């Protein structure tokens, strides 16, 4: 049996973040009065920067069955696709289309 993950992908400004809600939930209880804080320049465990555009992100899409496939578009006219590593020895592949 694999490791349970609940992944949330969000866009804030020109950044795309991947949040592992199981991992950050282990840090304690959070509420409206005491929310979890995570500065962009010092990401907490469970939050990962997965993409960055020059312009503000306007579109974000992720495959329901393959959460490692991600596409984003921004006001800079760029559409990027993020693909997972092919092997444990390689890195993720990011393909960007400009027009």
Q: What is the pTM of this model?
A: 0.70
Strand partners, 19: 8, 47
Element at 15 (helix H, strand E): strand 15-20
Q: Is residue 69's pLDDT more than 50?
A: yes
Q: What is the pLDDT of residues 16-63, one digit of tens each?
A: 888 888 888 776 777 778 888 888 899 989 898 888 888 888 888 877
The dihedral built from the CA positions of residue 39, 12, 6 and 3, taken in this order, carries a sign that is negative
DSSP, res 12: E
pLDDT of 22 reads 84
Statement: residue 97 has pLDDT above 80? no
Question: Which H or E element spans position 49?
Answer: strand 47-52
Q: Where are the domains of the chain?
A: 7-98
């Amino acid at each position: 049996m694999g490791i349970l993950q609940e992944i949330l992908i969000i866009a804030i400004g020109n950044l795309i973040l991947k949040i592992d809600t199981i991992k950050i939930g282990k840090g304690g209880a959070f509420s409206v009065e005491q929310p979890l804080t995570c500065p962009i320049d010092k990401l907490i465990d469970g939050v990962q920067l997965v993409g960055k555009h020059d312009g503000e992100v306007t579109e974000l899409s992720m495959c329901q069955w393959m959460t490692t496939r991600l596409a984003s578009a921004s006001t800079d006219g760029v559409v990027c696709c993020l693909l997972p590593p092919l092997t444990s020895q390689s890195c993720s592949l990011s393909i960007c289309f400009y027009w």
